[in-house]
Structure 1
């Protein structure tokens, strides 16, 4: 059994367009910036799957990042609800404060005090180092925040991350047909033809959905092993310059 690639492209395009249009229409207040087809491995496996659809908006990305930051602070044991000026408030808990007593320190007591001072200095130095490392880490995260390998462009991390485009038995029929073709004619040639189909769908989705979005929609096929090549095939030259200036010139 062969594969009707034209029919497959149309089936994926129609299903993806319908699902994406529904999500966008249900959230008119959000700015959708990207749509992706993903979940199809280029590595040889037992079967060739149908792609998943993913979308994300600027607002959803920011909300998810804030939630992730809050979870990280909780894991570190930081109390997010504590008033920063708690100690200066009139109702601050004064229990446990020690009264000052004028005593004469013995030599041993003086040495103990000196040791405690040294330990305190070491703790302060350690805290300073932790603060510096945290600042460096934050700067690195800011620098990578919009790179292709950040959550901004990783479909599996998006709010709408795994929309099935085709239900069984249709999905299984297409999968079996492509897997059978790969068995007879070779995995590489089959998966290459399949990805050619997915790229065509992504280009079509960008053209058809751009009029429904408030920003220039980035539509692409996501695969870590061939990320740059797929971006160059799916995006317009202007989008490449705007979002991924580090990439080489687009494929002609």
Structure 2
């Protein structure tokens, strides 16, 4: 399977099981360069597992995943290790719980992977890190440690760390779920700015207004399946499937 020139991700009939439990049953979608794909759904619907499969944190049971024109896995069979590694460099992942190294300064959290993975010099990696910290409004925190930062600041450092490797596509796994409401807004503002800059992104989120207003395409998952997908405004404001209607009822009744 190959993608079209502008297609950065294509997933066909992806399946994932843990023993006899089928978490992802038959997932297919595509994403074009510069677009934002939003994924919503109840807990346990398979959203995070889907991201983990694409980002090589879980192995798939079946199906095909193509990223930037290269097959990561085709009909359940993985590419060679060099191809897997090359594809991994095209992907950035921002976790819900920050996953910063607590014993590293903010600056070193952002430079470490650049030096180890990309082979950049200390000077090069620090220049990139400082530029990104400035973009995140955290330039003054370069020498601080994660424990000295608020949750929102830690998440902005996580985003900077992911961007430092210059991925082709950035994945967010519920990036505001560990934050209180006051800090959620600052992270959503950063992601909105990245969307304006045409960063290709896949965002699993429980923030319905954000998903509607920021995504170019929206998927609603439940029970390991894509129940409904399409235009975000249409899907959120006027869902067609009964399960989607039930899920969005509290939000749409506000």
More strand by proportion, 1 or 2? Answer: 2
Structure with the larger helix share: 1
Which structure would you say has the larger Rg? 1
